[in-house]
């Protein structure tokens, strides 16, 4: 009977290997019944009742019935405990068999924990896996993910350290460790302990690149990823990381080329494609965003990236309700997805729900302290308004990124809301940001808006500094919205012909840009001698 049961168990394995789970489950149920009533079977291994239970749990899990799989794993664990404690079998179980019981005990508990995690029972999964004696490095890495999802930062770092030390090729875990603030040289040293020395030629630079990125050191990170791109050409992860960094540095052309290259190399890739969607969203390229959202949805609608892209597209169209629904769907799939949290906060700000925006951005901030989380929090607190809190966060961002134009810009935004000489300090901050990064168009826009607001309250305001700075920015970064803003400046300065030219330039780049359309209409009416309403001045500023 032992041989017959072992043969049927092999048939179950064959069916499961080819993912024929319906037949595999039915046959597994048969072999469980047979082994349960058979005498003289081995306590473990092929032909045993324990093996029948483990196979059944595995195929039931493969068929998608997670809770039922948990029950079979628990029954298998009970059977293993029975084998361990049975005095008649203890004589059979000597030496390596005892260690095999311990290994199997840990393996079964781990599978139960994985199943519990799958159905959302995160705390139960943590308790189950924490009871494993001598867990493997991969078990530590899985446990680290659970800790992270439950917001337990310290145990997350502890488990990641152990896991990465034992398995340096778990690259996602290495990156997570860096994002959580571990020192890059220390992580590289840990990785080098068990990695093949030859692999350190690319593993070392990868740790260095992600370490710089985690510290928000964009120039160093860009340089490191560019070197990696030469070492490993057309590797999709490197391409998309470099594209994201270039995008955040306002090199939209370089970023777009790299994202497109990544899609050529790996057409079905989803990771970081919501970053490409954000690029299209910022460029107000509705057609490209629409195509991308459809493509991503066709690839896999059980990932957050397609829903983030679709949410952006709906927001672009003005359908705020659908945009909110779709970003919530992304967060249902992946509650810690950074781009979805940022987008949700952005949508709340658009709806003037600043308190809700703070909640969303704060969750993103707790996951990764990047410029997008800081920017969202600062903007939300300024909207409430809580200027003191906004200033604290802006200064924190600047301390983390002292040579980053975007951090200086954040401080400037807050200073613009403070009394006294706040606006003068803000203008100096914007100018400093542009000196550090001439492509930082947000600083140029903020600088221009500051002067336009001052001109509304004091028509004698000299606008030439803002005009000159905007012209310089356009030389580095010729975007439609910059041309339109320069048109607003010329209009406010009374140079209608120059304003008209800039609005034409903006519409040649983006024919659907409403701000440029309204600006051109305003200039044409002024040239005809029509009277304008006060609210129509300078683009409704």
Q: How far apart are CA 309 and CA 275, in angstroms?
A: 9
Q: How far is CA 100 from CA 40, 44, 386, 506, in A?
A: 20, 9, 60, 71
Q: How far apart are CA 77 and CA 305, in angstroms?
A: 38
Q: For residue 296, is it within any domain?
A: no
Q: For residue 348, is it within any domain?
A: no
Q: Are residues 120 and 3 in the same domain?
A: yes
Q: Are residues 80 and 173 in the same domain?
A: no
For the chain, 541 residues long, give each residue's pLDDT as a single digit of tens: 778 899 999 999 999 999 999 999 999 999 999 999 988 899 889 999 999 999 999 999 999 999 999 999 999 999 999 888 874 455 555 556 678 889 999 999 999 999 999 999 999 999 999 999 999 999 999 999 999 999 899 999 999 999 999 999 999 999 999 999 899 999 999 999 889 999 999 999 999 999 999 988 889 999 999 999 999 999 999 999 999 999 998 899 999 999 999 999 999 999 999 999 999 999 889 999 999 999 999 999 999 999 999 999 999 999 999 999 999 999 999 999 999 999 999 999 999 999 999 999 999 999 999 999 999 999 999 999 999 999 999 999 999 999 899 999 999 999 999 988 999 999 999 999 999 988 888 999 999 999 998 888 888 888 999 999 999 999 888 889 999 999 999 999 999 999 999 999 999 998 988 999 999 998 988 888 765 554 454 444 4
Q: Are residues 6 and 113 in the same domain?
A: yes
Tell me, what DSSP letter sits at residue 97? H
Residues written for the chain: 541
For 354-383, the three-class secondary structure string (H helix, E strand, C coil) is HHHHHHHHHHHHHHCCCHHHHHHHHHHHHH
In CATH, what number is assigned to the domain containing residue 12? 1.25.40.10
> What are the backbone dihedrals phi and psi of residue 529, each rounded to the nearest 5 degrees, phi first?
90, 15
Quick one: what percent of the chain has pLDDT higher than 70? 96
Three-state SS at 510: coil
How many independent structural domains does the chain possess? 3
Per-residue model confidence (pLDDT) at position 40 = 85
Q: For residue 287, is it within any domain?
A: no
Q: Are residues 156 and 101 in the same domain?
A: no
Which of residues 215, 248, 283 is at a domain's end? 215
Q: Which residues of 341-353 are buried (b: 16+ CB within 10 A; e: fewer)?
A: bbbbbbbbbeeeb
Q: Are residues 49 and 105 in the same domain?
A: yes
Q: Are residues 81 and 183 in the same domain?
A: no
Domain extent, residue 150, equals 136-215
Distance of CA 146 to the CA centre of its chain: 17
Q: For residue 346, is it within any domain?
A: no
Q: How far apart are CA 291 and CA 68, in angstroms?
A: 41
Residues 6+ apart with CB under 8 A from 510: 284, 480, 516
Nearest to 470 by CA among 454, 481, 458: 481
Residue with tokens 């129509």: 536
| Half-sphere exposure for 324 (CA within 13 Å, toward CB) | 14
Q: How far apart are CA 495 and CA 456, in angstroms?
A: 16
Q: Are residues 163 and 120 in the same domain?
A: no
Structure tokens at 150: 């439950």
Q: Are residues 486 and 522 in the same domain?
A: yes
Q: Report if pTM > 0.95.
A: no
Q: For residue 235, is it within any domain?
A: no
Q: Are residues 23 and 105 in the same domain?
A: yes
Q: Are residues 89 and 142 in the same domain?
A: no
Structure tokens at 14: 């064959």
Which of residues 125, 144, 162 is at a domain's end? 125
Which of residues 197, 215, 233 is at a domain's end? 215
């Amino acid at each position: 009977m032992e041989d017959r049961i072992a043969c049927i168990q092999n048939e179950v394995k064959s069916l499961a290997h080819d993912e024929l789970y319906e037949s595999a489950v039915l046959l597994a149920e048969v072999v469980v019944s047979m082994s349960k009533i058979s005498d003289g079977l081995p306590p473990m291994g092929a032909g045993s009742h324990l093996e029948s239970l483990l196979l059944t749990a595995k195929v039931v899990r493969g068929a998608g019935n997670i809770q039922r799989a948990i029950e079979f794993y628990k029954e298998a664990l009970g059977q293993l405990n029975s084998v361990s404690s049975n005095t008649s079998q203890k004589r059979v179980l000597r030496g390596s068999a005892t260690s095999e019981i311990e290994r199997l005990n840990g393996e079964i508990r781990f599978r139960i924990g994985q199943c519990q995690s799958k159905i959302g029972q995160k705390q139960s999964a943590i308790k189950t896996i924490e009871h494993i004696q001598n867990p493997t490095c991969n078990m530590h890495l899985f446990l680290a993910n659970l800790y992270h999802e439950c917001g337990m930062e310290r145990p997350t770092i502890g488990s990641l350290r152990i896991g990465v030390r034992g398995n340096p090729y778990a690259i996602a875990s290495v990156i997570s460790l860096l994002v959580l603030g571990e020192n890059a040289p220390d992580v590289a040293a840990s990785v080098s302990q068990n990695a093949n020395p030859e692999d350190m030629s690319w593993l070392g630079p990868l740790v260095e690149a992600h370490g710089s990125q985690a510290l928000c050191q964009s120039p160093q990170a860009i340089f490191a990823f560019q070197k990696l791109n030469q070492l490993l050409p057309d590797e999709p992860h490197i391409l998309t990381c470099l594209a994201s960094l270039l995008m955040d540095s306002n090199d939209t052309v370089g970023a777009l080329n790299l994202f497109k290259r990544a899609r050529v190399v790996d057409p079905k890739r989803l990771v970081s494609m919501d970053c490409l969607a954000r690029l299209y969203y910022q460029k107000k390229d509705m057609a490209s965003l629409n195509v991308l959202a459809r493509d991503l949805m066709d690839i896999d609608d059980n990932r957050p990236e397609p829903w983030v892209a679709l949410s952006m597209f709906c927001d672009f169209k003005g359908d705020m309700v659908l945009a909110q629904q779709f970003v919530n769907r992304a967060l249902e799939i992946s509650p810690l997805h950074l781009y979805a949290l940022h987008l949700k906060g952005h949508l709340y700000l658009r709806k003037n729900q600043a308190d809700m925006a703070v909640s969303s951005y704060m969750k993103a901030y707790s996951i990764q302290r990047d410029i997008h989380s800081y920017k969202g929090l600062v903007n939300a607190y300024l909207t409430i308004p809580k200027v003191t809190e906004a200033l604290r966060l802006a200064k924190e961002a600047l301390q983390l990124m002292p040579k980053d134009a975007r951090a200086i810009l954040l401080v400037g935004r807050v200073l613009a809301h403070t009394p006294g000489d706040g606006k003068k300090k803000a203008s100096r901050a914007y100018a400093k940001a542009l000196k550090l990064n001439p492509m930082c168009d947000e600083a140029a826009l903020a600088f221009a808006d500051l002067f336009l607001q001052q001109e509304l309250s004091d028509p004698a305001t000299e606008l030439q500094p803002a005009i000159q700075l905007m012209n310089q920015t356009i030389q580095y970064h010729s975007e439609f919205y910059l041309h339109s803003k320069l048109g607003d400046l010329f209009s406010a300065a009374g140079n209608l012909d120059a304003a008209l030219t800039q609005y034409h330039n903006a519409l040649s780049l983006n024919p659907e840009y409403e701000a440029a359309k309204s600006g051109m209409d305003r200039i044409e009416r002024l040239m005809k001698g029509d009277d304008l309403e006060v609210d129509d001045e300078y683009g409704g500023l």
